[in-house]
Structure 1
Amino acid sequence: MVAAKESREIAFIANNFGDWLFHCHMLSHSASGMRKWVLVT
């Protein structure tokens, strides 16, 4: 869990190029900003 105003660092192998949406599957969370576009180049 990540509390409000907190952040976490993740590591992953970015080997599938393009725009990817990193998000919470709960619509109310996504609507309040728990989503981010990630560009893999």
Structure 2
Amino acid sequence: KTTIAFVADNPGKWLFHCHMLEHAAAGMSSWFEVV
């Protein structure tokens, strides 16, 4: 579990990911939505 604090002032669907392909393939890639 990870907690990240940031200012979410741009609504929409966003991709949170790692640029290392091995990490992304292992699941370090996810979508989140700012409403």
Given the two structures, how large is their TM-score scaled by the length of structure 1? 0.74
Structure with the greater alpha carbon radius of gyration = 1
In structure 1, stretches of 5+ residues that fail to align are 1-6
Query: Identity of aligned pairs, percent?
Result: 57
Name segments (4+ residues, structure 1) moved above 3 Å. none
Aligned residues: 35
Given the two structures, how large is their TM-score scaled by the length of structure 2? 0.83
* Structure with the largest fraction of strand: 2
